[in-house]
Amino acid sequence: MIDLRDKRILITQANEFMGPALQHFLRKCGADVISNNDQLISAESAKMAIDNAGHIDVLIINLAIHDPASFLPDITEEEWKSVFDVMVHPLPRLVKAVIPQMKNNGGGKIVVMGSASALRGMKRTASYSAARGAQLAFVQAAGVELAKDNIQLNAVAQIFVENPTYFPIEVQQNPKFQERVKREVPLGRLVTAEEDVSFVAYLCSDMANCFVGQIFPITGGWAIR
């Protein structure tokens, strides 16, 4: 078990996507976990989330929206805007809001819970994948800038991982979905939530100080080309 007893960790949108599993596992590791359950759509809400949390050693940016499944010609302006409002625009706002205190504290860590849908094309995911791709591009560029301040910004790019937002129990129990997983995922099963968040716990620890602006696929082999 990773020892995080000296870490105060803020998780955004903590009731969705990997939030529940992150809260449970990081507390088992001894971290002081602060959970924010808001969708941070307004410009002010991101800064408020940081300010209200107080001291933060680690910020886990967990942003999710129930992925639309529109064919490209059917993507509306509203769909495109809503996906970016929820998953892209809060990202730089959160990072910018937490930078001052992390600089003052001599460093910190930021982990973005992203998606491997940005790494491999899939039908009916253009708006969702574009937003997830924007997240990963931001992490790579911003991570390089923040490294000089001992702030490590990295991202997990996951897919086919147990979570209540994209793969709830009723989906997992669907025989057609089970066949799809066996067909598309080399591992032959979903990555468990604990397998996923234990790696995130490692990224939160002082053992991961060498990673800067990196994208870590957790996909059971799905993202390997």
The pLDDT tens digits of the residues spanning 172-206 come to: 999 999 999 999 999 999 999 999 999 999 999 99
* Average of per-residue pLDDT across 130-144: 98
Model confidence band, residue 121 (pLDDT cutoffs 50, 70, 90):
confident
32-35: strand order across its sheet? 32-35, 8-11, 58-62, 108-115, 151-158, 215-218
* Average of per-residue pLDDT across 11-24: 98
Domain boundaries 8-218, CATH class: alpha beta
Please determine, for residue 225, whether its predicted confidence score (pLDDT) is greater than 60. no
pLDDT (0 to 100) of residue 68:
83
* Average of per-residue pLDDT across 118-139: 95
Q: What is the share, in percent, of the chain residues with pLDDT greater than 90?
A: 94
For the record, the structure tokens of 178 come out as: 């089970």
* Average of per-residue pLDDT across 65-72: 87
Q: Where are the domains of the chain?
A: 8-218
Q: Are 7 and 60 in contact (CB under 8 A)?
A: no
- Please, what is the average pLDDT of the chain? 96
Q: For the chain, what percentages of helix, strand and coil (3-state, to nearest 5) are there? A: 45, 15, 35
| Residue of higher predicted confidence among 25 and 121 | 25
Residues in the chain: 225
